Structure 1
Amino acid sequence: MLFTNCRIVAALLCALSLGLPATGWSAAPFDDKFRQLGEMLPTPNAYRTASGAPGHAYWQQKADYVIRATLDEARREISASEQITYHNRSPDSLAYLWLQLDQNALRQDADQRRVLAAPSRQAWLSGDEDTALKFEDLRAIQAGRSFEGGFRLKAVRSASGKPLPYTVNQTMLRIDLPQPLAPGQNVTFHVDWSYAINDQKVLVERSGYEVFEDDQNAIFQIAQWFPRMAAYYDAAGWQNKQYLGNGEFALEFGDYELYLTVPADHVVAATGELQNPAAVLSAAQRERLARARASNTPLLIITPEEALAAEKSRSSAMKTWHYKANNVRDVAWASSRKFIWDAQGMDSGGKRVMAMSYYPNEGNPLWQQYSTRAVVHAIEQYSKYSFDYPYPVALSVNGAVGGMEYPMLAFNGGRPVKDKKTGAVTYSRKTKYDLISVIIHEVGHNYFPMIVNSDERQWAWMDEGLNSFLQYLAEQAWETDYPSWNGEPRQIVEHMRSAGQAPIMTNPESLQQLTASAYDKPAAALNILRETVLGRELFDFAFKQYALRWKFKRPTPADFFRTMEDASGTDLDWFWRGWFYGTDAVDISIDGITEVGVSSRNPEIEKAWRRARHAAEPQSIASQRNRAMSKKIDSDPVLRDFYNEHDEFTVSNKDRNGQAELLEGLDPWERKLLEQGMAGKHLYLVDLSNLGGLVMPLILEIELASGKKIIERVPAEVWRQSPKKITKVLITDEPMVGLVQDPYWETADIDISNNAWPRKIAPARVELLRPDPDPHNLMKDMAAPLKLEEAKSGKK
C-alpha cells in the first residue's frame, strides 16, 4: 500500500508543478483557450502557404501612372489628367476595372457625411471623447452642406482617345473595358478631372490647405488626389469597399511620373526624386542640396530668410516640378511659398538616402531642431527590426494635417506658439515629444503599409498596430523614459476595462474606439509577445522574417500569424485568439497559499509535527475558562490510566512496526526519498484564478524570509487544461513571506489589487472639501449656467 501511495505522491507533485485545477474538473462546458486557429484562418494554397510565406504561385497587379496637375492657388483647385497603364498579372480575365475616388467622400451627398451618428442620444450627450458630440462634428455637417467637393470627371478615354463607359458609385469608379483584359496583358487609359481643395481647419481630412492669417499665404497638402487603381488580389478579388473615413487604403505598386505646375514662388515636396532641379531651384539652392547629401547633420536648402522673402511675393508666373517614383503604391505632395527646406544624407543598405523637412517659419525653433533628425532616427530604428529603407528620399512636411503617411512623404502637425503679449515663441514639453512621435510614426508607415502592403481598408491594425509597436521601440531608443503614447501594457488597461470594446480583428468602420483597438491594443499585445511570451531574440527574428517575406507584397492577418509561429517555433494560437479575436481582459488573482510538507511516513517525525500543529491551534474562550474548573480526575486519581499519560500523538510500537513493514516494499530510491522528505525545502500550493478570461503567462515574484526576491516565469500553457482556476506548486529554500503576480505590470492586468498575497493596502489620494459657508441659501445657484444634467432633462 505504501509503495502505491509513494508513486501517487510523486506523480501528484509532478502534476502540481505544472498546475492543476484548484477544485477538480468543472461541470461547465470546457472553454479551450488553446483551440487552434486553423478552422478560422483561410486554407493555405499556392498563393499563401501554411508557413505564412508567399506561395510559389503568388501574384500581384501593377499600375503605372503619368500625372500632370495644376494648382490654382486663388481658386483653391486642382485640375489634372493622368495616363494609367494597368498590368494584369492575375490568372483571371477582367471585364472591368475599379478605381478609388477618395475625394468623393467630400461630396455633399457622400455616404461619409450622411452616416455620422452615435449609438444613442446618451452617447452624444455623454461627454465621452469617443462618442460625444464635438465641435468638429457640427463643423463637418455644416461645411459638408456648403462645400462642393469631390471629383469632377471630365473624360475617361482609351489610349486611342475613344470614350470608355464608366459608372461612379460614391467613392468608387468602374470602367468597363471593350474586351476582357486577359492574364499577362496590360491596358492603358486616360482620366481627366478637377476638384476643389478643402480648408483643412474647417473640413478636417487627410489633405487640404491651411491659410495663415498674418500673411494670407497657404500650405497645400495634396493627397488622395487622383483616381487610382483599387487593389485586386487573391484573398479578396476587387477591394471595392467604399471609403468612409476610418478604413484607409488598399493599393497596387507601380511607377509614377509627376508634373506638378504651381505658382513660380512655391516650393514643392513630393513622393519621389526631383528630376528638374535646374528649372525650379536657384544655383545656390542646388549647391546646398548637393552638400546636404554628404552631410550627417541637417543643412538648410531654403533658409528662413528666403522663406520670409517669398511670403511677401505673389508671382503670377507658374513653374512645373517634375518627380519620379518607382515601385510605390501611392504619391502625395505639398506646395507653398512659406516653406523652409532642410536636408541631410544617411546610409541605408549601402546607398545614400536624403532625409528632408519642409516647414514654415511658424514651425521654428522646433522643426529645424527635431524634424529631419527624427526622420533619420525612424529609418535607422525601423530598418533594424525589418529591412533597409529602399527609397531614395524620406520627407516630413508641416501643415494643418496632424499626421498622415504616404510613400517617402509624411504630413506632420505641431508647432510652437507665440505669446500674444510678448511675442515670444515657446513650446511645451508635450508639443516637443508629440512632434517627434508623430514624425517617427508617419515616417515609420513607409515600412507598414507602404512597403509591407497590407489592406488598410479591411485591417487597420496590420499597419497602425504594427507601426505603433515599432514607434514605441524607436522612441525608447531616442532617450531614457521617453513619454510614449502607447506600447506599455499598463497603457491599455483602461481600454480593457471599458465597455463597448471590439476585437482587434474588426473592420475599422465598425470600431467605436478606433485608436485603442487599432493602434494601442495591438502595440501593447506585440510588446507583451516580445517581452513576456517569446522573448526578444525569438520575437525579433520572427518579426523580421515577416517583414522580409512580405516586402513589396500584400500580406493578410493569417500570413502574419503563421509567419510569427513558423519563425519562432512557438504555437501562439492562444495568443492570437485571446488578444486579436476576443475582448477578454487579463485579470489573474492569487486566491490563497497553503504551505505543505511531504510526509516521511516516520511516526516519530510525523506525530511530533502533528503535536506541534495542535499546540499552535488557538483555544476557544470556553476552553480557556474550562481549564480553571476543578476536575473529577484530580479528586479521584484512580480514574487515571495509560491514556491519561499518553495522548494521540504518542508513538507506539504498532506505529514503528507498521513503518518497518511498509519500508520493506520500497525500492532504495523511494526509501531515500521518504527518509529525506523535503529536508531544507518549503513547498507551497498557490491557488490562482483567471478572472478576466484571457490566459497569460504567470510572472511570480517570490519574497523569502531573508528579504531576497526571485522571479519564476510560468508559460501560459499552465492554463491549458483548466483555464479558470489552477493550483501551482512552488518550492523554495527558505520560508516564503510574500508573493506577487505580474510585479512589473507587463501583462496589462486590469486589477492589480488581487495580484499580491498577502493583500497589499492600495494607496489613494483625496481632496478635502471645505464646508459650504452658506448652506441655507437656496437661491445662490440661480444665476449660474444650466447644469449638464438639467440641460439633458430639459429643465429651465
Structure 2
Amino acid sequence: MNTRLAPGWLAALFLLSGLPLYGQSHYDPQKAFSPLFYTAKGTLLRNADGAPGPAYWQNRADYTVTATLDTAGKRISGQVTITYSNNSPATLRYLWLQLDQNITRKDSRSNTMQAPGVPDSGNGFVMEQVSVRQGNSWMPADYRVEDTRMKLLLERPLDKGRQLQLRITYRYYLGKSGGGGRSGYLDTRNGRVYEVSYWYPRMCVYDDIRGWNTLPFLGSGEFYLDYGDIDYRVTLPAGMIVAGSGALVNPEAVLSPAQQQRWKQASASDRTVFIRTPEEVTAEMRRPPAGTKTWHFHMKNTRDVAWAASAAFIWDAARINLPGGKQAMAMSVYPAESAGSQAWGRGTEFMKNAVEIFSQKWFVYPYPVAVNCAGAVGGMEFPGIVFDHWKADAQSLWMLTAHEIGHNWFPMIVGSNERRNAWMDEGFNTFIDIYAHEAFNNGEFAPKRDGEYAPAGGNPAEEILKVIEKPGIPPVLTTADAFLGEDDHPVEYFKTAFGLVLLREVILGPERFDPAFRQYIHDWAYKHPSPEDFFHAMENGAGEDLAWFWRGWFIHNWKLDQAVKSVNYTDGDPSRGALITLENLEQLPMPAIVKITESNGKEHTLHLPVEIWQQGREWTFRSPTVSRVTSVVLDPEKQLPDINRNNNRWPATP
C-alpha cells in the first residue's frame, strides 16, 4: 500500500548518499486541482455528460448551385438557392452569410491589416442579384456586405420551425491562389488544373452558444457551417473531367461508355482501376471535343462541397470496404507530371486505406466517394474531396492524404467551429493520423512526423518541449487567427495531438480512452460540439476527473518537471522496502511512472496516479523492494514531456 509520509518522518530515516540535485519547486496544487473548472452546468441543450441534450437544436441549410467555369476568363458565374430552416427557439430578424472569396479584395479586413487604405480592386464576389422568396414571388433583398460577411435584413422575421429561400446570382474570378490559398489553378503540359472551393455564398451558423457566428475570414481560421443537402451543377468545356464532393448524378451524360464500364469495374475492385487512362488524355489533347458539358453532383448531410476540373486529369479508382458491408469509392485525379508508382499512382491506394482505417477504428465513412486531387493547393480538405500537392512523393502523399481525408471526421462529421477552435479539427485529426500511419501497410510510413520540430527518429515527448518552452507561445485554446504563422502548426496540430496521445497512452489507457472518444464522435456526428462538450464527454466516458489536464495542457501552457528527491530505508533496513520521495517542480501535474532496480536484479515499474500531487509538491511511497535499491528512474520510456530529465534518475552509491 502506498503511504504518504509527513516531512517530519524523514528525519528518522537513514538517508542514502549520492542524491541528485533538484531545483526549487514552482508547483501549486490548489492552482492545478482547483475545483471550479466548468463555467456552466448541464442543460436540456447540452448534457453534463458531454452529449447533446434532449432539447438540442441546430439550424439547417440546403443548397442548389449552378455554376459555369469560363476557362478563358478564369471566371466562375453562379446562382445559389439556399433553403434555410430555423430550428432554434428564436425569431430571426436578419441572417448572416459567409462570403469567403472576399478575402481577395484589397480592402478586405485581412489585407487591410497589412496595407491599410488601399482601395478595392474589384476582386471577390460580385453580387448581381440577391432575392428572398415571399410566397410564389422573388423579391429583392435588403442586404449589406461587410468584408467577408453579408447581413440580410428580413421584411418578415423567420419564426421557429419555419424556413425561407434565398437566391443569389454572383460571379468572381479564380486567382492562381485564391480563397485564402485553398483554391486556384496549375498549368500542366496537358492543360490547366482548376481547384475550386469557397465558391458560393454560404450561411453562417446560428447556434445556442453565440447566436450568429460571424468571425471574419482572415485566412487562418477555416469554416463553421450547418448541415444540409447540396445539389450542384458545373458547366465547362466538354473535354474537361470534373471531380467533386458527393455522388455523380449523370455519368451517362459526361462519361464515355468505356469510362462508365471502368467506373463499374472500379466500384467492385480492391485494386486501382483507370477510369480515364493516360492515353485518353493525350488523345483528347490532339482532338479536343467541342461544346460544353454539365456535371451534376449531389451530396447529403454535408457542411460544404468543392470540386476540381481539368482536361489533363488521369483518373483512377477502387472500392472502399466499410464496416457492416457498406462500400464507397476512392478516386484520384492528377496530371501526367504527377503519375508514377512512387507518387500519385498510389493516390487511390492511400485514399482507400486511410478511409478504411479511420472507419474501422472510429466512425464509418458516410459519403459515396473520397476523392484525391493533385493540383497547386498543397493540402486542403472538404467533405468527400481533398486537394493535395501535385509534386508529392509517396511518403508525403500518404501523409497528406491521410491527414486531409481525416478531416472528414473532424470537422466534417463532428462539426466543430474551426474558425474559433482549430485545435478541435487539426489536432484531433493529427491524433488519429498517428495510428493510421502505424496501421497502413505494416507501418510503411510510420511513425508520423510533423515538421521541423520532429526529425526522423526523434521522440515526440522531447520534441514538444520546443513548443512548450518557447517564450510567449499561445495555449491550445486560442482562436485560430490569433496564432502567428510559425506557431499554429506546433500548437493546434502537434501539441493537441500529443496531448491526446498522453491521455490515451499514459493517463487513461486505450481501453478507457477509445470507447469514450468513439462515443464523443457518435454523439456529435453532424452536430456542433464546444470544447467543454469534449471535456465532459471524455471525463464521463472514461470515468475520470481530468480538469487538471485540460487546465494545464489546453487552457494554459504549463510545464512538467518531475524529480526523484530521495531514497531512504526505515531504520536503515533495505529488506523493509525503500521510501522513495518524488517532487513536482513545475506547475503541470502528471501521473508518475517509476522504474526501480534492486541489487538482487529485480525490476519494478510502478504507476502512481496524478492524485499524488493533490496534497502538495512532494510524495513519498514505500516500494515493494526487499534488497538495496540501485536505481530509480522516472518515466523510463520517455513518454512524458519532462523539461529536465537530469533529475529523473536516482543513482545510488554503495
Q: Same fold (TM over 0.5)?
A: yes
1-structure distance, mates of 2:6, 2:364: 45
- Quick check: 313-322 or 575-584, which moved more? 313-322
Cα distance, 1:371 vs structure 2: 1.3
What TM-score, normalized by structure 2, do the two folds share?
Answer: 0.90
Does the 8 Å contact 1:20/1:726 carry over to 2?
Answer: no
Cα distance, 1:368 vs structure 2: 4.3
Which residue number in structure 2 is paired with residue 439 of structure 1?
401
Q: What are the Cα deviations for residues 596-624 of structure 1, in whole angstroms up to 9, with x where unaligned?
A: 124xxxxxxxxxx7xxxxxxxxxxxxxxx
Does the 8 Å contact 2:630/2:652 carry over to 1?
Answer: no
Does the 8 Å contact 2:68/2:76 carry over to 1?
Answer: yes
Alignment of 1:745-756 (within 5 A): 745-756=638-649
Query: Residues 145 and 586 from structure 1, CA distance in 2 versus in 1: closer, same or farther, beyond 3 angstroms?
Result: farther
Which residue number in structure 2 is paired with residue 719 of structure 1?
613
1-structure distance, mates of 2:396, 2:140: 49
Alignment of 1:294-693 (within 5 A): 294-312=268-286, 314-348=288-322, 349-365=324-340, 366-415=342-391, 431-478=393-440, 479-480=442-443, 482-486=446-450, 488-512=460-484, 513-591=487-565, 593-598=566-571, 680-686=575-581, 688-693=582-587
Cα distance, 1:747 vs structure 2: 1.2
1:176 alignment partner, SS class: strand
Q: What are the Cα deviations for residues 651-681 of structure 1, in whole angstroms up to 9, with x where unaligned?
A: xxxxxxxxxxxxxxxxxxxxxxxxxxx7834
Q: What are the Cα deviations for residues 373-405 of structure 1, in whole angstroms up to 9, with x where unaligned?
A: 221222222223322111111111111111111
Does the 8 Å contact 1:489/1:528 carry over to 2?
Answer: no
2:138 alignment partner, SS class: coil
Which residue number in structure 2 is paired with residue 42 of structure 1?
40
* Unmatched runs of 5 consecutive residues or more in structure 1: 1-9, 118-140, 417-430, 599-608, 610-677, 761-796
2:214 corresponds, among 234, 240, 245, to 240
Does the 8 Å contact 1:19/1:726 carry over to 2?
Answer: no
2-structure distance, mates of 1:28, 1:474: 37
Matched, 1:15 2:4: yes
- Quick check: 524-533 or 473-482, which moved more? 473-482
Matched, 1:32 2:31: yes
Does the 8 Å contact 1:364/1:415 carry over to 2?
Answer: no
2:165 alignment partner, SS class: strand
Does the 8 Å contact 2:25/2:586 carry over to 1?
Answer: no
Does the 8 Å contact 1:433/1:483 carry over to 2?
Answer: no
2:81 alignment partner, SS class: strand
Cα distance, 1:145 vs structure 2: 8.7
Q: What are the Cα deviations for residues 240-261 of structure 1, in whole angstroms up to 9, with x where unaligned?
A: 1111111111101011111100
Query: Residues 315 and 18 from structure 1, CA distance in 2 versus in 1: closer, same or farther, beyond 3 angstroms?
Result: farther
Cα distance, 1:725 vs structure 2: 3.5
Query: Residues 476 and 533 from structure 1, CA distance in 2 versus in 1: closer, same or farther, beyond 3 angstroms?
Result: same
Query: Residues 290 and 453 from structure 1, CA distance in 2 versus in 1: closer, same or farther, beyond 3 angstroms?
Result: same
Query: Residues 340 and 29 from structure 1, CA distance in 2 versus in 1: closer, same or farther, beyond 3 angstroms?
Result: closer
Which residue number in structure 2 is paired with residue 166 of structure 1?
143
Amino acid at match of 1:33: A
Q: What are the Cα deviations for residues 738-780 of structure 1, in whole angstroms up to 9, with x where unaligned?
A: 12111111112222222222299xxxxxxxxxxxxxxxxxxxx
Does the 8 Å contact 1:342/1:368 carry over to 2?
Answer: no
Cα distance, 1:17 vs structure 2: 11
* Unmatched runs of 5 consecutive residues or more in structure 2: 12-21, 451-458
Cα distance, 1:199 vs structure 2: 0.6
Amino acid at match of 2:555: Y
1-structure distance, mates of 2:583, 2:26: 17
Q: How many residues are matched?
A: 624
2:267 corresponds, among 293, 301, 305, to 293
Query: Residues 708 and 114 from structure 1, CA distance in 2 versus in 1: closer, same or farther, beyond 3 angstroms?
Result: farther
Does the 8 Å contact 1:209/1:220 carry over to 2?
Answer: yes
Q: What are the Cα deviations for residues 273-317 of structure 1, in whole angstroms up to 9, with x where unaligned?
A: 011111100000000000111111111101112123334555552
Q: What are the Cα deviations for residues 678-719 of structure 1, in whole angstroms up to 9, with x where unaligned?
A: 783431333x33233211111112122244432111111111
Cα distance, 1:15 vs structure 2: 2.2
Identity %: 38
Q: What are the Cα deviations for residues 440-468 of structure 1, in whole angstroms up to 9, with x where unaligned?
A: 01111111100110011110011111111
Q: What are the Cα deviations for residues 216-268 of structure 1, in whole angstroms up to 9, with x where unaligned?
A: x2111100110001101111100011111111111010111111001111000
1:564 alignment partner, SS class: helix
Amino acid at match of 2:30: D
Which residue number in structure 2 is paired with residue 65 of structure 1?
63
Does the 8 Å contact 2:180/2:219 carry over to 1?
Answer: no
Does the 8 Å contact 1:440/1:471 carry over to 2?
Answer: yes
Which residue number in structure 2 is paired with residue 738 of structure 1?
631
2-structure distance, mates of 1:21, 1:155: 82
Q: What are the Cα deviations for residues 330-371 of structure 1, in whole angstroms up to 9, with x where unaligned?
A: 010000011111111122233221111111111111344421
Cα distance, 1:42 vs structure 2: 3.1
Does the 8 Å contact 2:318/2:348 carry over to 1?
Answer: yes
2-structure distance, mates of 1:444, 1:75: 34
2-structure distance, mates of 1:276, 1:242: 37
Cα distance, 1:477 vs structure 2: 1.1
Does the 8 Å contact 2:577/2:622 carry over to 1?
Answer: no
- Quick check: 734-743 or 463-472, which moved more? 734-743
Amino acid at match of 1:683: A
Query: Residues 74 and 29 from structure 1, CA distance in 2 versus in 1: closer, same or farther, beyond 3 angstroms?
Result: closer
1-structure distance, mates of 2:300, 2:334: 26
Matched, 1:109 2:107: yes
Higher strand share: 2
Query: Residues 400 and 706 from structure 1, CA distance in 2 versus in 1: closer, same or farther, beyond 3 angstroms?
Result: farther
Does the 8 Å contact 2:321/2:356 carry over to 1?
Answer: no
2-structure distance, mates of 1:308, 1:28: 68
Query: Residues 448 and 83 from structure 1, CA distance in 2 versus in 1: closer, same or farther, beyond 3 angstroms?
Result: same
Query: Residues 19 and 220 from structure 1, CA distance in 2 versus in 1: closer, same or farther, beyond 3 angstroms?
Result: farther
Amino acid at match of 1:97: L
1-structure distance, mates of 2:609, 2:643: 20
Cα distance, 1:586 vs structure 2: 1.8
1-structure distance, mates of 2:387, 2:9: 54
- Quick check: 342-351 or 305-314, which moved more? 305-314
Alignment of 1:199-218 (within 5 A): 199-200=176-177, 205-212=181-188, 214-215=189-190, 217-218=191-192
2-structure distance, mates of 1:207, 1:20: 68
1:516 alignment partner, SS class: helix
1:485 alignment partner, SS class: coil
Query: Residues 577 and 337 from structure 1, CA distance in 2 versus in 1: closer, same or farther, beyond 3 angstroms?
Result: same
Amino acid at match of 1:711: T
Q: Which entry has the higher C-alpha Rg, 1 or 2?
A: 1
Query: Residues 318 and 17 from structure 1, CA distance in 2 versus in 1: closer, same or farther, beyond 3 angstroms?
Result: farther
